[in-house]
Amino acid sequence: MSIAATTVVAETTRRAKPIRRGLLATVIGLALVTAACGSEDDPTAAPAAANEHSHDGDETSAAVELRQDMRKLWEDHVTWTRLYIVSAVADLPDTDATAARLLQNQADIGDAIAGFYGSEAGTQLTDLLREHILVAADLLAAAKAGDTAAVEQQQAAWDANAVEIAEFLAAANPAWPVEALTDMMREHLDGTLAEATARLGGDWDADIAAYDRVHTHILTMADALTAGIVQQFPDRFEN
C-alpha cells in the first residue's frame, strides 16, 4: 500500500537532474526483494562545511532550545518513516494512521522553518517534504511488487526532489552550502533505501543497523541546520 492511496497526492511531481551515485544495482535489488545495502559510505559522516558550528561551547539557552526542537522534528521524520516502512511492508492495519502522522511531521518541519523565513517558505518546504515522503512510499510499493521499471522511475523522482530540497534550503541561508546539503540528502536517501531493502528481504539485523545509521545521521543534519539558523539570526539567540 502507498501513502498516495490514503492521502492527497501532490498535483505535480517535480523533475530535476537525478543525483548520480551508482544506486542502480541497489534499486534493482530492492525491486527483487533482496537484502543488498544501498551504500558503503558511512551515513553518519557529516559535511564539515555545514556542521562546523554544531556544538559551540558558548551556545545560548535559546540556541540549545532550537537544537533540541530541531532534533525532535527530524527524529520524528525518520521514526515515522521507519514505522511506515514496517507497516506498509507487512500490510498492517495501522498503515493509514501511520502515513497521516508521517505527513503531519512534514508540516511541522515547515512550520518551524516559517518562524524564521516566513509562511511562504514554510509552505514550500512542507510541499517538498510531502513529495519526499509520497515518492518514497511509491518507491516502496513498486519494490514490494517487484516492478523494476517503476522502482527506477520513482528513484529518479526521489533523487530530483532531494536536489530541490537542498537547493531550497541553500538559497534561504548562506551558511548551508548546497553541496553539503546535497550530500546530507544523499546519505538520508541511501540510508532509508538500505533500511527498506533489508526490511523487504527479511534481514532484520541489517534493518536495525540501517535504522541506527539513519537515526545518527539525521541528528547530525538537524544540528547543521540549527547552526546555520543561529549564525544567520544571531540577534534572536543572545542570552
Statement: residue 50 has pLDDT above 60: no
Contacts of 92 (CB under 8 A, 6+ apart): 86
Task: Pick the more confident residue, 18 or 204.
Answer: 204
Counting residues of the chain whose pLDDT is more than 70, the rounded percentage is: 76
Residue 176 DSSP SS3? coil
Contacts of 205 (CB under 8 A, 6+ apart): none
Q: Where are the domains of the chain?
A: 60-233
Statement: residue 10 has pLDDT above 80: no
Distance CA(164)–CA(13), nearest Å, equals 12
Is 108 exposed, middle or buried, given 0-12, 13-18 or 19+ CB atoms closer than 10 A?
middle
List the grid coordinates of 32.
527483487
Statement: residue 15 has pLDDT above 70: no
Contacts of 164 (CB under 8 A, 6+ apart): 14, 16, 128
Contacts of 56 (CB under 8 A, 6+ apart): 63, 227
Chain position carrying cell 518546504: 125
Chain position carrying cell 531550497: 168
Statement: residue 16 has pLDDT above 80: no
Contacts of 11 (CB under 8 A, 6+ apart): none
Can you give the C-alpha Rg of the chain in angstroms? 17
Distance CA(51)–CA(58), nearest Å, equals 16
Statement: residue 37 has pLDDT above 70: no
Q: What is the pTM of this model?
A: 0.78
pLDDT score of 190: 96
Mean pLDDT over 23-51 rounds to 36
pLDDT score of 188: 97
Statement: residue 43 has pLDDT above 60: no
pLDDT score of 39: 38
pLDDT score of 35: 31
pLDDT score of 57: 57
CA-to-CA dists, residue 227 to 20, 54, 57, 143, 207, angstroms: 28, 5, 12, 37, 31
- In this structure, the dihedral spanned by the alpha carbons of residues 74, 76, 82 and 86, taken in order and rounded to 10 degrees, is -170
| DSSP conformation class of 236 | G
Mean pLDDT over 24-53 rounds to 37
Residue 162 DSSP SS3? helix
Mean pLDDT over 214-238 rounds to 95
Distance CA(64)–CA(168), nearest Å, equals 25
Task: Pick the more confident residue, 31 or 110.
Answer: 110
pLDDT score of 98: 98
Counting residues of the chain whose pLDDT is more than 90, the rounded percentage is: 74
